[in-house]
Structure 1
């Protein structure tokens, strides 16, 4: 399968192959401390080519940040070698509400009072509708 050429993105790392290992990336400042996967780690975790991983990010199947110095994605967004299926629509709802990528990640990882847990934990448990209902109220 051929991968169409991907347009440059401000969130895309300049040289993803030189990024540090995910073992070095645990962001204690994130609302919920989590391990972060760099681009090379994502290529391995998803078993996809770098161009395909970039496209997944550009098309909002995944969201990442440079908060640790290199572009990385929270590892909890990957389930059984694929992006969490309910993540894309949730990212789109939050982006439509004006959230930056960092704000999307923070909201997904932070405890949400109405859910009784973090939105990412609710998505992992299959509660997509509840998460998106709350996300729509944030606009």
Structure 2
């Protein structure tokens, strides 16, 4: 996990440390690290510690569709920073950002756009 730049930090907004994410998900910090490796979450280093976007955790779990989107982005060769930028940048065709669409249970639309980048 590499440090991120300020514009991505600002795009994402609210972050959770590894421990905060673990508490929100009711799992251990090691389980959160495994979730990051499995593309169930995306973690980056901020201020010297691993953090995940707070938007990736809803009511004690990850939103349906997040894992698929993160896997598609990784398979497309996106770095974690590029994936964050894509997930938190508005897309007029959705409308809104991909993470907002996923949180609104419109993950299929997000997956279609991510898959199109594979071509």
Q: Pick the structure with more helix per residue.
A: 2
Structure 1 stretches of 5 or more lacking a match? 1-10, 13-26
Contact 2:64-2:102 within 8 A present in 1 as well: no
Select which of 108, 112, 117 maps to 2:87.
Answer: 108
Deviations 1:16-62 (A, max 9, x none): xxxxxxxxxxx862263411111111121111112211111111110
Structure 2 stretches of 5 or more lacking a match? none
By relative contact order (CA 8 Å, sep 6+), the higher-ranking structure is 2
Q: Which has the larger radius of gyration?
A: 1
* Cα RMSD, aligned residues only: 1.9
Q: Which runs of 4+ in 1 moved over 6 A?
A: none
Deviations 1:87-111 (A, max 9, x none): 0010011111110111111110110
- Indicate the larger mover: 75-84 or 50-59: 50-59
TM-score, normalised by the number of residues in structure 2:
0.86
Match of 2:109 in 1: 130
For 1:83, what is the secondary structure of its paired residue? coil
The answer as to 2:58 corresponding to 1:79 is: yes
